[in-house]
Amino acid sequence: MLYFILKAAISGVLIALGSTLAKRYPGVGALVASLPLVSVLGMVWLWRDRPDTANMADHSGATFWYVLPSLPMFLLIPAMLKHGVGFWIALAAGCALTVVLYLAMTWIAPRLGVQL
């Protein structure tokens, strides 16, 4: 249980750091947010719990393919905000788009020979 709390605390501090930086320096906050910190921390925690190279290779490869459908959200949200759409609606639309694209990825990837 202590290990879980430690993982959550470290992960949470990094997210809080990014959002705090973004208040004063939006570009720096965006840089921190764009870093694959969640993925890297996830790999570190996974490796510590199960140091298996084949499992890690599968995990990191699948992560690459799941990042792709999340990227259009970061184009849709600013476009909607610049056109006067409220933040919460733009965020919901971006999240909904991402869910649809994730579902499409899980359906398309195996047909292209990609293991997720």
What CA–CA distance (Å, rounded) separates 33 from 39?
12
**β strands within 1-116, DSSP E:** none
Q: Give the tens place of pLDDT for each residue, 5-25.
A: 988 888 888 888 888 888 999
| SS3 assignment, position 68 | helix
Q: Where are the domains of the chain?
A: 1-51, 57-116
Residues of the chain with pLDDT under 70: none
The pTM for the full model equals 0.77
What CA–CA distance (Å, rounded) separates 55 from 42?
13
What per-residue confidence (pLDDT) applies to 33?
77
